[in-house]
Amino acid sequence: MGMAGKIRPVVVLLADEVDVPRTLVIHVPVTTQSRGSELEIPLGHLRFLDPKSVANVQAIGSLPRARFERRLGSVPESDLAAIKRAVVKACGLSP
C-alpha cells in the first residue's frame, strides 16, 4: 500500500471471491512499531517481512484497490486466524 511516498505492507482481509459493488479493500497494516498490544499479531517469521513485524489490528482500514501495488506473499492460516480473533476482540463481536 502506498502512503505518503512510502510503500507499506498490509494483510488483506477482503476475500477475492467476495462480489462487492465498491473497489475498496479491507486491510490490516503491518508495522515494526510494536507496543506489545494484544491487537498486534507477530508476523516477523515470514520471509518477506522484517523480523519485528506485527499486524496492527487497531489500525484496520480500507483503501481503493488501485492503491495496492503487488502481493508480497501470504500469511499462514494460523496467523490469519489470530488476526481474525483480534478483529473480533477489538470490535466487540461474537466469534
Contact 67, 1 (CB under 8 A): yes
Q: What percent of the chain has pLDDT over 90?
A: 71
Contact 34, 25 (CB under 8 A): no
Q: What is the pLDDT of residues 38-69, one digit of tens each?
A: 999 999 899 999 999 999 999 999 999 889 98
Query: Is the C-alpha dihedral spanning 91, 36, 59, 47 positive or negative?
Result: negative
pTM over cut 0.75: yes
Q: What percent of the chain has pLDDT over 70?
A: 94
In CATH, the number for domain 2-91 is 2.30.30.110
Residue ranges of the domains in the chain? 2-91
Please, what is the end-to-end C-alpha distance for the chain in angstroms? 29
The cell for 61 is 482500514
pLDDT for res 57 = 97
As a dihedral over the C-alpha atoms of residue 46, residue 31, residue 33, residue 92, rounded to 10 degrees, the angle is -100
